[in-house]
Amino acid sequence: MSFARYLGIRIFNALLVLAFVTFVVSILFVKVAEDDARTRIAEIINGEARNPAILRLKASDPEAFEKWKRNREEQLRREFELDKPFWERVISKTKNTLLLDFGNARSPVFGEIKVSKIIEKAIPRTVLLFTTAQIIITFIGLLLGIKAAQKAGKAVDKVLSVLAMLTASLPMWWVGMVFILIFAFQLGIFPASSLPNPNLEGIQYYRDLLWRMMLPLVTVVFVSFGGWAYTTRNIMITTMHEDFITVARAKGVPERKVIYGHALRAASPPIVTNVIIGLLGSLGGAIITEAVFNWPGMGRLYWVALQQSEVNLLMGVTYVTVALFLASMIIADVIYGYLDPRVRVGR
Amino acid sequence: MRLEDVRESVKDFAHEFRYQKGGIIGLILLIILVSAAVLAPQITSPDVAKRWSKEFWVENPPNVPPTWINYFSSKKLAPHQVYSINDLEILDGGDGEKILRIVYESNYDVPPKDIVLQGFKVSSHDVKNKPRMTVVLKRPDGLEVKLIEDRMISSNTVIQIATNTEVKNNVFKWSKEVSDIELKPVEEIKLQALMDTMKILFGKIDENIFKQPTPLHGKYVLEIRIKTVDDGDVLDLSGFSVIFSGRTFGLMGTDSKGRDIWAGLVWGTRVSLAVGIAVAVLSVLIGIVYGVASAYFGGWKDETMQRFNEFMFSLPVLPILILLGAYFKGHVDLFQIVLLLVLFGWVGVAKVARSMALQIKEQTFVEAARALGAGSGRIVFKHIMPQIMPYAFSQMALSVPYAVMTEAALSFLGLGDPTAVTWGQMLYDAQNAGATINGYWWWVVPPGLAIALVGLAFVLLGVALDRILNPRMRTL
Amino acid sequence: MLMKVTDLKTHFFTTRGVVRGVDGVTFTLGKGEVLGLAGESGCGKSTLGYSLMRLVPPPGRIVEGSIQLGDLELTSMDESTFRREIRWKRISMIFQGAMNALNPVYTIGYQMMEPFKYHTEISEEDARERIARQLELVGLDPEITSRYPHELSGGMKQRVMIAMSLLLHPDLVIADEPTTALDVIVQAQIINLLKKLKKELVLSLIFITHDLSILAEISDRIAVMYAGKMIEIGDSKRIYEDPKHPYTQKLLSAIPKVHEKVERLEFIPGAPPNLANPPAGCRFHPRCPYATKICMEKEPERTVLDGSREVFCHNIPG
């Protein structure tokens, strides 16, 4: 099977998964929305019943009042699409979601009311924060991991292992809270809220953004780099035990080139896959970390959606996160294939 | 496996375990955590779980740091102290008068927030002639302040010295007299409105007494004189208590509802360990059964099972859990949380278990066993399972932190069990009360550390188990 | 004389004690000579090979002795000079089975170019030319330089390895179990190739193997190792015909011979000793049928027979 064909199948698979997940989630969503709509309808009718005209009607002609109530209910049910059969609503929700039509939020977020627009604003911010963090983490992780692998069993290596174990046990979002306590409250170096100031323009805006991004960035890097370095170390140690490393040394290849050439290059496919899988694994923690810092990305949307029961928004962010997640898995595959000739040519 | 072999391997294991420093630390941590969980009612009090989510803890001062910060700060804050009737000195003043005395040693730079007198029980037949109470504070400088004079008390009387208007007036009048400060009438009204009764009571008498009282250290005596006027009155003081409402509280301080954070921490161990261990054990067992079954069936069944496994693997866990949590409208009870976490927890284990089972299936001795006519059940339980179990044990330990952290994350998003005492919930409350931007570190730091501690204990144990039980890891 | 190794000791400093992988080995190697190094697995023969390349993996290191290549003392040479001047240029190595000896992410061409890059000044053109010639010599199409290792069969990979080891015309090639893990037909092809190269190139070769039947075909002299020590060295043919050391005898009788009727195949009872704690005296005494009291107490001295044959055994009359 050629790699292109393999990739095609992978993408097709991912789309299938996405469609299926959307369908299942739509079932849940329609149920939640139904309960939601019922309470809303009851609220609206109760509100209107307090109207003096209606009150008078109720007093003079109770039967007419009942009739008005029934009519109104019918009308509202149609408005909320409760009159359609359950499965029809599920299918239409699935279809709309797949086509990125998530409906409107009840109150505007980031100045937008359409859910797809809100998410459109949030994605670049999330990507900005976590790509930057990931680049830093990968860089530090590689350097430290290679150092530790070279000195396996020595002090550097042991410190790294302990560090990795300690930081792996910390919830990222909690570290965020502690960092706010230390750097925002105690020392006052960084702002507690990372919501950028919308009144600034040009270079000023970006400087403000960077300044506000610092604390969440440091949090993500602090929690993740140890585990990273440890993964790199393990992969590197396995690679360094390979025969071809001994051969390279025997050939008189300088040690630096052996490590950063032969070993690192051979270890790069699993390292990259692990980087991406790890990135996806930290997605959950990252979402909450954003919420802690008020960073206006996808995580913040989750928080808002949950706090204000924005069902449409929640559905939208979930769909987009799953889609991004699946896309990243495919990207991991592509990079792996690019780096490992064994996959590139055929498998 | 014969019993003897089991005993032998357990002995071997115990011997090897002694050389795993990390594992021993992990074991000690785990023992501490389990003891905390089991002894929670004894360590704190048995009604914590019931009271936690329901009410304000009115007897405690809200948002105060732990008492031990006094060791680290130059400014000593008065701790929270409760005097029940048994802690009081009771004298007979004669003529139907009872005198209750509290000796209060104040070395604090910030006095108690308040002194609350409560728990009177009076039954009298004449409404206009109830027992009367006078409260006097004797200060280390020999001065005496009459806080309350001849106040009638009834069963529901609660006196808060710091905010009581009568006390305020008395104290203001008294301090004006003893300090000899001349005040203009306008100034007087303003000062009286702004003054901090407690700081004046526990402050030096000098020119700063109204604006910035200097704390006066030494022995204070609070005297409560209660006089029963009517012979038929019955005064029951068995429930009586005096609370010196603290600027600090207990081991871990309090949150905005006055809840004792230490109690929450100790009780939170229960949920954390229960959820963590239940999820880990269930998901690893399910994963192993699934993986081994898949490898064992082979063919299209294996293919189908692997497709499903891959499908589960390609889902982002937390977003889906959040959505499911929202589906339950944020009232996910603990049992449901365990189910939700298990739903995603078994996937990775199943993958590894399948490939291990496939490898074992190919080994010569298994083929030999098959050739000798061993049934499939025998091969699975006699050959495959014993080799996978070591992996299972270390994997169980390593799955706990994941479960604990995910549970905490869900609670933190407000999707936990609102009736349970959990660390995630405490942090959720802290976040909503703005604990970070108000600097309530004692509310933010301990629950997270507790989560990390559970995680660390199991990671250490898991790594040690892995090293002993899967020896090929040792070279790494 | 090309190489002289004197009292070489390579020890591994593990957490469970010092493992004496090579414990005082002395031998010489002439130009154009093929020395077969035989012994059970774990006897230290591979460690000896790695020691000559100074590639003993940690926690192992050479603790004593000398390795002389021509006039150069290799044990005391500084690392970077050794890397530049000796490795691959003077001594190259063919690795076990070649299963993993080629880096999977680089092309064959890249990996064959490396020795030129780090040891010579010649142009890439010339290097490519020499690589092509070398590949033809081992019976491969020069076009495989653009391929990746996973595209080659085991036998092809081993041929690449052999071609690569000869690129810089080294004085000495160490072949560490070059035919193990290959199937029998490929094994025969590789042996024949080495025999051909030996004749054509006047190759000096140390051939390490546990398979004595292979050594009979290719080596001029045979050295037998047991538990980190040399126990018998001598002319190949004479060792086959008349092994002196009881261990060599056992080892040879463990090989089934095609033309002889064998009642039963011999095997050596017991296992090689733990090198962290070897037995006192002669290391073979616990498994030796002729062991006497002195064997348990005193290490046997070298006995030289007919000028060039060396045996380490108490029971050989000097």
Chain B residues near residue A174 by CB distance under 8 angstroms: 408, 427, 444, 447-448, 451-452
Mean pLDDT of chain B: 85
Partner-chain residue, chosen from A25, A234, A280, that has the shortest CB–CB distance to B323: A25
Domain residue limits at B345: 3-48+260-474
Distance CA A283, CA A277 (A): 10
Q: How near does any CA of chain A get to the CA of C6, in Å?
A: 22
Q: Report how many domains make up chain C.
A: 2
Distance CA(A331)–CA(A127), nearest Å, equals 15
pLDDT of res. B72: 87
Output the average pLDDT for chain A: 85
Alpha carbons within 13 angstroms on the beta-carbon side of residue B260 total: 19
Same domain, C216 and C299: yes
Q: DSSP label at C274?
A: P
Give C215's pLDDT tier (boundaries 50, 70, 90). confident
Q: Please tell me whether residues B363 and B451 are part of one structural domain.
A: yes
- Asked if B121 and B35 sit in the same domain, the reply is no
With CA atoms as reference, report the closest residue to C251 among C211, C279, C294, C221: C211
pLDDT at B449: 93
* Paired residues of B94 in beta bridges: B97
Terminal-to-terminal C-alpha distance of chain B: 30
ipTM of the prediction: 0.85
CB burial of B209-227 (b: ≥16 within 10 Å; e: otherwise) equals bbeebebbeeebebbbbbb
Concatenate the DSSP letters of all residues of B147-162 into one string.
Answer: EEEEEE--TT--EETT
C206 shares its domain with C157: no
Residues of C in contact with A252 (CB under 8 A): 83-84, 86-89, 115, 118-119
Residue C214 belongs to domain with CATH number = 3.40.50.300
Q: What is the mean pLDDT of chain C?
A: 84
Distance from the Cα of residue A52 to its chain's centroid? 50
Winning range, highest mean pLDDT, from A143-157, B135-149, B440-454, C204-218: B440-454
* pLDDT over 80 (residue A281): no
DSSP B284-345: HHHHHHHHHHHHHH-HHHHHHHHHHHHHHHTS-HHHHHHHHHHHTTT---HHHHHHHHHHHH
What is the strand order of the sheet C3-14 is part of? Answer: C17-29, C3-14, C60-69, C72-73
Residue C238 lies in a domain: yes
Residue C18 falls inside a structural domain: yes
**Per-residue pLDDT reduced to its tens digit, A227-256:** 888 888 988 988 888 889 989 999 989 989
Task: Give this prediction's pTM.
Answer: 0.80
In the block, tokens 């093929």 appear at C34
The pLDDT of residue C184: 81
Each residue's pLDDT tens digit, B376-397 = 777 788 778 878 888 888 888 8
Judge if B208 and B295 occupy the same domain: no
The pairing of strands C172-176 and C205-209 is parallel
C101 occurs within a structural domain: no
DSSP state of A262: I
Reduced to 3 states, what is the DSSP secondary structure of residue B57? Answer: coil
Q: Residues C171, C173, C178, CA angle at the centre, nearest 5°?
A: 170
Residue C27 lies in a domain: yes
Over 70: is that where the pLDDT of B96 sits? yes
| C 89-108 → A contacts, CB under 8 A | 89, 92-93, 95-96, 99-106
Q: Residue A130: beta bridge partners? A: none
Q: Is the peptide bond before A254 cis (omega within 30 degrees of 0)?
A: no
Q: Are residues B109 and B34 located together in one domain of the fold?
A: no
Residue at token pair 């269930």: B282
A78 touches chain C (CB under 8 A): no
Least confident residue range of B214-218, B446-450, C97-101: C97-101
Nearest-angstrom CA–CA distance, C91 and C112: 16
| pLDDT reading at A346 higher than 50 | no
The mean pLDDT of B272-277, rounded to a whole number, is 93
B7 domain-assigned? yes
Interface check for A326 against chain C (CB to CB < 8 A): the answer is no
The verdict on B399 and B452 lying in the same domain is yes
Looking at the structure, tell me whether residues C303 and C204 fall in a common domain.
Answer: yes
Domain assignment of residue B30, yes or no: yes
Judged by a CB distance cut-off of 8 A, whether residue B473 touches chain A is: no
Give a yes or no: residue C24 inside a domain. Answer: yes
* Range of lowest pLDDT (B265-274, B313-322, C63-72): B313-322
Distance, in Å, from the CA atom of B253 to the CA atom of B49, rounded to the nearest integer, reads: 18
Portion 241-300 of A in contact with B at CB < 8 A: 241, 280, 283-285, 287-288, 291-292
User: What's the CA gap between C209 and B407, in Å, rounded?
Assistant: 58
Structural domain ending residue among the three candidates B245, B275, B295: B245
Identify the band that residue C257 occupies on the pLDDT scale cut at 50, 70 and 90: low
Lowest mean pLDDT among A257-271, B210-224, B357-371: B357-371
Task: Pick the closest to residue B447 from A177, A225, A191, A295 (CA basis).
Answer: A177
Residue B67: inside a domain? no
Are B62 and B254 within 8 A, CB to CB?
yes
Asked if the structure places residue C96 within a domain, the reply is no
Residue B63 lies in a domain: no
The DSSP annotation for B259-271 comes to -BHHHHHHHHHHH
What is the per-residue burial (b if ≥16 Cβ within 10 Å, else e) of C62-72?
Answer: beebebbbeee
Q: Are residues C244 and C305 in the same domain?
A: yes
Q: Does residue B116 form part of some domain?
A: yes
Same domain, C178 and C294: yes
Tally of domains in chain B:
2
Pair (C211, C298) in one structural domain: yes
- Cβ within 8 Å, pair A307-B414: yes
Residue B453: which of C157, A49, A174, C296 has the closest Cα? A174
Co-location of B111 and B219 in the same domain: yes
Q: Which residues, other chains included, contact B282 with Cβ-Cβ below 8 Å and sequence gap of 6+?
A: B338, B342, B345, B346
Question: Encoding tokens for residue B21?
Answer: 């420093």
Chain A residues whose CB is inside 8 A of the C119 CB are 252
Shared domain for B91 and B213, answered yes or no, is yes
- The percent of chain C in helix, strand and coil, each rounded to the nearest 5, is 35, 25, 40
Q: Look at residues B203, B219, B245 and tell me which one is the last residue of a structural domain.
A: B245
Strand-strand pairing, B234-236 and B121-123: antiparallel
Q: Are residues B187 and B266 in the same domain?
A: no
Residue C313 above 80 pLDDT? yes
Please check the confidence at residue B211 and state whether its pLDDT lies above 70.
Answer: yes
Q: Pull the structure tokens for residue C266.
A: 């011999």
B253 in any annotated domain: no
Residues in B closer than 8 angstroms to A17, CB to CB, are 311, 314-315
| Other beta carbons within 10 Å of B293 | 17
Question: Using one digit for the tens of pLDDT, what is the confidence trace for A187-208?
Answer: 888 888 777 777 777 788 888 8
* Interatomic CA distance for residues B147 and B134, integer angstroms: 8
| Boundary (domain end) residue, out of B245, B275, B293 | B245
Amino acid at position B12, single letter = D
d(CA C229, CA B103): 88
Scan for tokens 């051969």, then name that residue.
Answer: A247
Are residues C279 and C218 both part of a single domain? yes
Q: Tell me, what's the pLDDT at B476? A: 34
Q: How far is C303 from C315, CA to CA, in rounded Å?
A: 10
**Would the CB atoms of A306 and B444 count as touching at under 8 Å?**
no
Q: Which two three-digit tokens encode residue B365?
A: 């001795």
pLDDT tier for residue A175 given thresholds of 50, 70 and 90: very high
Together in a domain, B36 and B80? no
**Residues A280 and A325 sit within 8 Å (Cβ to Cβ):** yes
Residues C263 and C115 in one domain: no
Evaluated on CA atoms B289, B295, B301, B305, the torsion sign reads: positive
C232 in Cβ contact with C223 (< 8 Å): yes
User: Does residue C262 register a pLDDT over 80?
Assistant: no
Identify which of A13, A270, A333 has the alpha carbon closest to the alpha carbon of residue B310. A13
User: What is the tens place of the pLDDT at every residue in A211-221?
Assistant: 888 999 999 99
pLDDT at A111: 83
Q: What is the CATH number of the domain that holds B193?
A: 2.60.120
| Residue B181 and residue B211 in contact, taking contact as beta carbons nearer than 8 Å | no
H or E element: which one contains B69?
Answer: none
Assess A123–B contact: CB distance below 8 Å, yes or no: no
Distances (CA, A) of B383 to B139, B263, B354, B463, C192: 82, 48, 14, 24, 44
User: Domain check: are B225 and B278 in the same one?
Assistant: no
Question: Interior CA angle at C35 toward C33 and C36, to 5°?
Answer: 150
- Out of A186, A314, A325, closest to residue B323 by CB: A314
Closest CA to B115 of B307, B207, B243: B243
- B426 and B311 belong to one structural domain: yes
The pLDDT tens digits of the residues spanning B37-71 come to 999 898 888 888 888 887 788 778 888 888 888 88
Q: Which stretch of B243-257, B307-321, C144-158 has the lowest confidence by average pLDDT?
A: B307-321
Boundary of a domain, candidates C119, C140, C169 = C169
Distance from the B296 Cα atom to the nearest Cα atom in chain A, whole angstroms: 25
| Judgement on whether residues C181 and C250 belong to the same structural domain of the protein | yes
Task: State whether B277 and B207 are in the same domain.
Answer: no
Give me the pLDDT at residue A344, please.
59
Q: What is the pLDDT of residue A347?
A: 36
**Chains B and C make contact, 3+ CB pairs within 8 Å:** no
Q: Place C316 in a pLDDT band, splitting at 50, 70 and 90.
A: confident
The angle at the Cα of A128, spanning A125 to A133, to the nearest 5 degrees, equals 130
Do both C69 and C205 map to the same domain? yes
CA B349 vs CA A14, B346, B357, B403: distances in Å: 22, 5, 12, 14
Terminal-to-terminal C-alpha distance of chain A? 6
Whether the predicted pLDDT of B160 surpasses 50: yes
Query: In B13-96, where do the E strands start and end?
Result: 81-84, 89-94
Residues of A in contact with C53 (CB under 8 A): 250
Domain end call among C147, C169, C191: C169
Owning domain of residue C114: 107-169
Is C224 within 8 Å of C233 (Cβ atoms)? yes
Contacts of B431 in chain A (CB under 8 A): 177, 292
A-B C-beta contacts closer than 8 Å: 139
Q: What is the CATH number of the domain that holds B427?
A: 1.10.3720.10
Residues C136, C282 within the same domain: no
Pick the range with the lowest mean pLDDT from A37-46, A337-346, B403-412, C30-39. Answer: A337-346
Judgement on whether residues C121 and C178 belong to the same structural domain of the protein:
no
Residue B420, in any domain of the structure:
yes
Please indicate, yes or no, if residue B71 is contained in any of the structural domains: no
Amino acid (one-letter) located at A99: L
The whole-number pLDDT of residue B268 equals 92
DSSP conformation letters of C133-175:
HHHHHTT--GGGGGS-GGGS-HHHHHHHHHHHHHTT--SEEEE
* Beta strand ranges found along chain A (DSSP E): 104-109, 112-114
Beta-carbon contacts of residue B16 (< 8 Å; ≥ 6 apart): B468
Amino acid at B454: V
pLDDT at B33: 93
| The pLDDT of residue C265 is above 60 | no
Choose among A302, A177, A172, A231: nearest CA to B401.
Answer: A172
